[in-house]
Amino acid sequence: VAIVEYQNKLKLEYNPSLESVITVMISIVIGTVTLTGSFIAFGKLQGIVKGQPILLPIRNIFNSFLFILIIISIIWLTINPSNQYVLYYCVAFCLLLGILLVIPIGGADMPVVVALLNSYSGIAAAATGFVLHNNMLIIAGSLVGASGLILTRIMTRAMNRSLVNVMFGGFGIKEESNSIHQIKETKPIKSASALDVSMMLEYAQSIIIVPGYGLAVAQAQHQLRELSDILKSNGSSVKYAIHPVAGRMPGHMNVLLAEANVPYEELKDLDEINGEFQRTDIVLVIGANDVTNPAAKNNSSSPIYGMPVLNVDQAQSVIILKRSMASGFSGIENDLFHLEKTFMLFGDAKNSIEEIIREIKTL
């Protein structure tokens, strides 16, 4: 839109005003960076692009060089607006910058990136509103941009990291410590059947459910709600522990559970629920990985050390529904899988929950 408007201004005015050129260029720069950045984020979330950080040599220096070229292009266009080759060069620089800004960021940080790109899109829309003299677009873009920035701040605080660290830290690229590999080798996992899990849940008085991206992939939220209703009818207390960065975008788990009409009062955030795990009989983890990893608290050499996580390891027993032993998007082994109290039920979450429901009904 901004490029078309720029062309129109050149036709109507041989030398557009400085204000018009700057407004158009802000819209073009932010919108173009957001476009390619969003494509890379989508690719990482869909597994098309490698989820772990792709760290290119001297990437920060090259990004700084691109940014300087973009600034020079904008200045050049304010001096000579009719030079359209400079405009096209600027667009190309912005397209490349959007790719290079997002590709070094690991999949575990994608919720923050999605929130930030959402903010960028709002700012681009507001700038386009100034270009078109459209007050409604300015207001809507400003609201989206502001809400995106606020959400980004909330997400980074939930991860105990700064935005600069997320954007430039290459989170998840460090190798795991030898101790984690040793745990994996010396402590085999405990597998459980649907019958085993159903019997454990049947006699549990307090249950906390921890949903993650695996729940979204399997689209098992309705089956989970049915299981929860059965457990509550048996007299069990059921709550849902929602980590701020669970899933692949901000509020992912909240939306997913709301779709299944899970009562809102049963959803508890990290600060509210963390003190209850030590008094809980069973924690049922469905497709959540990094947000339950005790290495964030216990292993100072872990890349996620210091990140607030759910205290799942403090419960009496832990049941994990997972497709395989694959690590999360951070690429880090989860120590929780190897605890004596942890039982693994492998398979598609939807099928596993349906099988658990059938077994409970036969007890």
Long-range CB contacts for residues 264-272, cutoff 8 Å, separation at least 24: 266/228, 266/238, 266/239, 266/240, 267/239, 267/240, 267/242, 268/239, 268/240, 268/241, 268/242, 269/242, 269/244, 270/158, 270/241, 270/242, 270/243, 270/244, 270/308, 270/310
CA of 24: how far to CAs of 27, 66, 91, 228, in Å?
5, 19, 12, 53
**Is 288 in contact with 240 (CB distance < 8 Å)?**
no
What pLDDT, on the 0 to 100 scale, is given for residue 178? 42
Tens digit of pLDDT for each residue in 219-252? 999 999 999 999 999 999 999 999 988 877 768 8
Confidence band for 278, pLDDT divided at 50, 70 and 90: very high
* Residue 147 pLDDT exceeds 50: yes
Domain ranges of the chain: 2-168, 178-362
Report the chain's C-alpha Rg in angstroms.
24
What pLDDT, on the 0 to 100 scale, is given for residue 184? 43
| Active-site residue, 290 included | yes
Please give the Cα distance from 298 to 5 (Å, whole number). 56
pTM of the model: 0.74
The angle subtended at Cα 18 by Cα 16 and Cα 23, nearest 5°, is: 95
Please give the Cα distance from 302 to 214 (Å, whole number). 23
* Residue 105 pLDDT exceeds 80: yes
* Residue 306 pLDDT exceeds 90: no
**Is 277 in contact with 322 (CB distance < 8 Å)?**
no
Other C-beta atoms lying within 10 Å of the C-beta of residue 290: 27
- Mean per-residue pLDDT for 332-358? 91
DSSP category for residue 175: P
SS3 199: helix
Determine which one of 109, 290, 313, 335 is catalytic: 290
Confidence band for 303, pLDDT divided at 50, 70 and 90: confident
Q: Report the DSSP beta bridge partners of residue 321.
A: 286, 345
Question: How high is the mean pLDDT of the chain?
Answer: 84
Please give the Cα distance from 19 to 318 (Å, whole number). 61
Helices (H), the chain: 2-12, 18-46, 59-79, 84-102, 110-132, 135-158, 163-168, 178-186, 194-202, 213-218, 221-233, 252-259, 270-273, 295-298, 349-362
Nearest to 318 by CA among 222, 209, 241: 209
Nearest to 240 by CA among 268, 271, 276, 278: 268
CA of 232: how far to CAs of 206, 219, 321, 323, in Å?
10, 22, 20, 26
What pLDDT, on the 0 to 100 scale, is given for residue 10? 63
Is the domain defined by 178-362 classed in CATH 3.40.50.1220? yes
Write the burial class of residue 329 (CB in 10 Å: 0-12 exposed, 13-18 middle, 19+ buried): buried
Question: What phi and psi, each to the nearest 5 degrees, are found at residue 112?
Answer: -70, -45
Please give the Cα distance from 102 to 165 (Å, whole number). 13
Other C-beta atoms lying within 10 Å of the C-beta of residue 251: 16
Question: What phi and psi, each to the nearest 5 degrees, are found at residue 21?
Answer: -65, -45
Nearest to 270 by CA among 314, 309, 318: 309
* Residue 336 pLDDT exceeds 60: yes
